[in-house]
A and B are shown apart, each in its own frame.
Chain A
Amino acid sequence: MSFEREIQRLLLGYIVFFGLIVLFAAYYAIIGPETLLEREDNVRRLQAEAAILRGAILDRSGSLLVESVEENGVVQRRYLHTAMNSALGYYSLFYGSGGAEAAFNTLLRGADLPQTLTTYLTRDLLHLPQRGSDIRLSFDLEVQRAIVEAMGERSGAVVVIAVPTGDVIALVSLPTFNPNLLDENWPELSQSPEQPFFNRVLQGDYQPGNAIQTVLAAAAAANRADFISVYDQASAPILVGEVSLNCAQRPPQANLSLQQAYAYSCPAPFSAWVEDVGLNAVQPLLGFFNRVPTLTLPGYAPEPQVNTQATPALTSTPGSDDAILNLEDALGQGDVTLTPFEMAVFAAAMVNDGNAPLPGTLLAVRPPDQEWHDAVTNESVIPVTSRETSLQVRNLMRGAVLDGSASAAAHDDLDIGGHTGLAYSGDRTLTWFVGFVQTGERAGFSVTVVLENSADVNLAAEIGGLALAQSVQEATEAD
């Protein structure tokens, strides 16, 4: 007598159960990579990310700004110059990336590199850490350093753009953060009322106040306005809504021409001129900022939120000037807000004979174990105004530096033009400086400075002038 029947049934039971185990294993092995591994709490994903040897970041002259260092199997990202913090942003396993680290994340991680036999062998087979490309950016460490030092503890934004290339030479947003200590300080930083992660250059939609006079001056020049005739009581404050707008600097006399009013940043003559010619005369120049709604550095800061409710039918009424623009907007204290970056591009357009260069920051890329190759740049420009108009605006700006509220920007032997302005946002006073230095025909640098909670136009002009002078010096030394 044997147990043949029972043993056969037992065997069948084992086979069925082991088959079930096989099915489960196959499910997790085949379906799992697309489901389980994509989970936020997948530590392996974090480990793989942590093992990536991100590429280094260098400035335009080749100075090392950021590097990845491997210690005991853990890759550390090291930011070598505090002056570059607001431009370079941060990279964190836990909190993602911002600034240049975010804008060029794909390159720095090496995610764009084609799958070759070498990458297959090193990454897929041997699981060696993924290596990213090194990148050289348009920032200049020395210019950035000079600006940060000049800004001191103040809050605000400074941006310098090269003409005609559109290279962003400096991008300073203060206060900022230390990316080397980001993980440790994140809770405090993210809750800080000073908003250190807010990129004031790119995201700071400031009231332009008197700074909009450069746009109005371009509009006036385009409309062949009379810049010589004198306006009575031109230095008197004007009331825009509940805000009283004053000259950025008290002029020597009360009656001023449009040219003199621009030099001292007095709003009354511009208000009178706009009322005289109508808002339609200003619309084309201010429309430049609307025509290029994404006038920013892609990836550096969150993209503008698109309000799908705000259809053109709701936001504009063709044929009615008031619906598009009113006097408050035209005088920089209405609903029109501008970022320092947009103003710097506008100033760059004035240097470039009325054509705004497309700004960018990527100069060259060096994939792992390869040579540097230049980044593909977009050399097209955005037409803003005519050559003649831009020339006239430049002369107005030169006049403001020579004898006006922007005189603190002056540097010997440099062809600097500029304009200061005061703006009011809530209970805050903002000081603007928009300027340029011309180093050749359609060549030079533009700058915008915004100081928060400050009415010191001389300081803004001084910082702007310093940034321009330093940019010229570094460019000369590089040549």
Chain B
Amino acid sequence: MRLKTSTVEIDPEAQRLAFQRAVERGLLILSAAFMLVNLAALSLVRPDDRLTYMATMIIWSLCAAAGYHLLERYLPARDYLLFPLAMFLCGWGLILIDRLAPQFGQRQIVWLVVASAALLATTLLPQPLHWLRSYRYLWLIGGLVLLVSTIALGRNPSQVQGAPRLWLGVDDVNFQPSEALKVILVAFLSSYLAEQYPALRAETLTWDRRLRSLSPRVIGPILLMWGVSVVILIWQRDLGTAVLFFMVFLILLYVSTGSQWIVVSGMALVLIAAAVGYQSFAVVRVRIDIWFNPWPEASGNAYQLVQSLQAFAAGGIFGEGIGQGSPDLVPVTHSDFIFAAVGEEWGLLGVLVVIACILTLVVRGLKIAGQQTGRPFRALLAVGLTALIGLQSALIMGGVLRVLPLTGVTLPYMSYGGSSLLMSFVILGLLLRLSSPEN
């Protein structure tokens, strides 16, 4: 008797996608479990706020589930780590905001809904990358107009006397134009550099010719637009964002030209700018002084930084536990210093998890860039968007740990701030779109 054998053809690509979807689902479930455990623990410490915590949990879960299903439907071949990692960091941020500044918790959850909608819009709308590229001057001028308008119409929601007025808003709803300008500027630079790319990267060019290729005619418009943005930001004393713009500009220029001299001369410019800023601006002088030695000013100008360092020390390796530490001793800990709160309540382990998540986002973003063979705009856009997440995280994490002088930027996905969350999700949407071969 002959046995009848049959073979089932297994498509390796389908298998890989199925595995990736399982990992993505698993990570989202793990994130939900993390939130549930921490919010439950927090409700033991603060039983009066249980309803708020439940609302946070439910709305985050709805956003995660809706996001997953819509992405599954419209971008089935997307990167499988970006969305769950961003949702995890965002959920962690929500827990911290509920714990540190309950009055802002509900507002942030509303912004999460708006940001999720923006993420889905970015991924579902037809040809957003084409729009960004084709109308780059229009986008940039629009962004600059909004930024300039903060000089006349700007406000500061915290209403702290003397604080920079970087927001535009109506009633209680505020938006920070510089957040949108970050994405617009990256799209502009990527688009422009992608056009100049053949001239900048011609293999036959010698070094002197390559340097000459960076002539004012080629690089002039880009320097002009970038310079206007940075000057306005410095005018508005938004130094953190100005530094971020400069670094992203440097990275895009380096990647597009392949010239290490760009990096070296860029870093030299940073040092010169720091020296000039130290002499000219009190705020820069204070930041650099307390970076070198915060201890004499522990109760004065360096209070925030010293409290931040002591938060990490108090957290130790395993942390104090949620609701058990005193991260609220760090002023505005729910915003720029949220990383210090992680250090105090989840310890070094929590810090490592956050860093690992952000580094993974960066690795995935750069991987997406690397996959854009023959499509320089998409590659540069992925590099630039990734740089926005990676550099901004590095600036603020390094700042609160005294690796770098402090710059007032938010930690993407985690810090309180509607504009920041919204634009971080737009960046996520664009990266997901870039990661999807069908787009």
Contact = CB atoms under 8 A, between A and B. Distances in A.
Interface of A: 1-7, 10-11, 14-15, 17-18, 20-22, 24-26, 28-30, 32-33, 35-37, 39, 41-44, 47, 125-127
A44 B326 contact: yes
B369 interface: yes
B309 A1 contact: no
A14 B394 CA distance: 8
Interface string B177-215: 000000000000000000000000100000000000000
A14 B380 CA distance: 17
B312 to A, nearest CB: 4
A176 to B, nearest CB: 33
Contact of B352 (A22, A33, A36, A39): A22
Given A28-B309, A32-B312, A6 B258 contact: yes
Contact of A20 (B351, B369, B403): B403
Contact of A21 (B315, B324, B347, B403): B403
Nearest to A34: B313
B401 interface: yes
B312 A21 contact: no
Interface in B358-398: 358-359, 362-363, 366, 369-370, 372-374, 376, 379-380, 383, 390, 394, 397-398
A37 B325 CA distance: 13
Interface string B302-340: 000011011011111100110010100100000000000
Contacts of B372: 2
11 contacts: A3-B380, A14-B362, A17-B398, A18-B358, A22-B351, A28-B309, A28-B313, A29-B348, A32-B309, A43-B307, A127-B320
Nearest to A38: B313
Contact of B313 (A14, A21, A36): A36
Given A21-B355, A21-B397, A3 B326 contact: no
A4 B373 CA distance: 9
Contact of A10 (B320, B366, B394): B366
Contacts of A11: 362-363, 366
B336 to A, nearest CB: 15
B280 to A, nearest CB: 27
Contact of B348 (A10, A25, A39, A41): A25
A189 B265 CA distance: 63
A429 B201 CA distance: 100
A6 B254 contact: yes
Which residue among A28, A36, A39 has the maximum number of chain B CB atoms within 10 Å of its CB? A28
Interface string B295-307: 0001100000011
Given A32-B313, A125-B321, 14 more contacts: A2-B372, A3-B370, A3-B383, A10-B255, A11-B363, A14-B366, A14-B390, A24-B403, A25-B401, A30-B316, A32-B310, A37-B310, A44-B326, A127-B320
A32 B313 CA distance: 4
A24 to B, nearest CB: 4
B320 A36 contact: no
Given A18-B359, A125-B321, A3 B309 contact: no
B38 to A, nearest CB: 15
A273 B153 CA distance: 99
A30 B383 contact: no
A127 B403 contact: no
A127 to B, nearest CB: 4
A33 B316 contact: yes
A157 B77 CA distance: 89
Which residue among B306, B310, B394 has the maximum number of chain A CB atoms within 10 Å of its CB? B310
Contacts of A127: 320-321, 324
B343 interface: yes
B343 A10 contact: no
B352 to A, nearest CB: 7
Contacts of A6: 254-255, 258
Contacts of B379: 2-3
B402 interface: yes
B251 A17 contact: no
B339 to A, nearest CB: 9
A37 B313 CA distance: 7
B359 A14 contact: yes
A230 B72 CA distance: 119
A315 B133 CA distance: 95
A20 B403 CA distance: 8
Nearest to B318: A29
Contacts of A28: 309, 312-313, 343, 401
Contact of B309 (A18, A30, A36): A36
Which residue among A2, A25, A47 has the maximum number of chain B CB atoms within 10 Å of its CB? A25
Given A17-B398, A41-B298, A3 B369 contact: yes
B394 A18 contact: yes
Which residue among B256, B359, B373 has the maximum number of chain A CB atoms within 10 Å of its CB? B359
Given A18-B394, A36-B309, A25 B343 contact: yes
A1 B374 contact: yes
Contacts of B317: 29-30
B437 to A, nearest CB: 15
